[in-house]
Amino acid sequence: MGRFSGKVALVTGAARGIGSGIALRMAREGASVLVNDFANMDLAEQTAAKITALGAAPGGEGQSGFAYKCDVSDHDAMERMFDETLRLFGRLDVAVANAAYSRRGTILEMNWEDVKRSVEVIQYGTYNVLQFAAQRMVKQGQGGKILVISSLQGENAYALSTPYNMAKAGIIHLVQTTSIELAQFHINVNVINPGWIDTPGERNHFSEQEIRDGAADMPWGRLGTPEDIAAAAAYLCSDEADYVTGATLRVDGGLKFKR
């Protein structure tokens, strides 16, 4: 019996990278999972198929993993996605806000549409997850776990990422605020700040040689992996973390204090 046996999770931005790692880790420990994505639905379907193959309790259509296309910044569409989760599985125990958007450049040259999109996906998207998950968990009356994936860039000021840094810093404060509001319902709200993680998205910003060089210069001697974040997420979303709320867990291999 795994820590998530009989439980239902929803993970946004879960087609690949950190989101997929979290979804698969929870499925391996017994969860049924709704796999949300928007731009990579072929990969989302693959992740969902892997989850079903792991054999957790199936939903209404005989599957334990479902891929669902939804833009997390679309408030109405997100409400429909949460309703669909309840239709398929009958309940919601865990929600993970992971979807993100990032473009690099200085504030002198940053395209305004990219600035808006970063805020829409990261801040509005996270708000939508928190609101819709909390509403359903309160109605169920059995508590729940909400986890937000922010970033070390929400703490440290890294150049060339102004909209991403701004949005990630904002959702850390959002977690702290909502944790106070939802404590009376025994809904835990926490945040993970990953450091430099080896994901497909990093290839949008760095060459393979730059990634190898960066890994060698890390305090831990390597980049983090989606599995590193998934292990931390599994703890925070489990009953073991019942008295942990409003917390920020940094998973960065010591990068925060690298000199």
| pLDDT tens sequence across 68-87 | 999 999 999 999 999 999 99
CATH number of the domain that residue 162 is part of: 3.40.50.720
Report yes or no on 60 lying in a domain: yes
Residue 196 is assigned to a structural domain of this protein = yes
| Residues 135-161 as b or e (16 or more Cβ within 10 Å = b) | ebbbeeeeebbbbbbbbbbbbeeeeeb
Structure tokens at 82: 């949460």
Read off the pTM.
0.95
Is 164 one of the annotated active-site residues of the chain?
A: yes
| Pairwise pLDDT comparison (180 vs 209), residue with the higher score | 180
Phi, psi (deg, nearest 5) at residue 197: -110, 140
Whether 252 has a pLDDT exceeding 90, the answer reads yes
Name the residue range of residue 202's domain: 8-254
Choice among 102, 151, 179, 238 that is catalytic: 151
| Residue 243: active-site member | no
149: in domain: yes
Number of domains in the chain: 1
**Residue 230 near residue 18 (C-beta atoms within 8 A):** yes
pLDDT above 90: residue 62: no
Whether 63 is covered by a domain: the verdict is: yes
Catalytic residue among 64, 68, 127, 168: 168
- Binned at pLDDT 50, 70 and 90, residue 199 comes out as confident
Question: Which pLDDT value is given to residue 212?
Answer: 86
16 token code pair: 């690949």
Q: How confident is the model at residue 190 (pLDDT cuts 50, 70, 90)?
A: very high
Q: Is 235 a catalytic residue?
A: no
**Is 124 part of any domain?**
yes
**More confident call, 130 vs 202:** 130
Q: Which of 68, 145, 164, 238 is catalytic?
A: 164
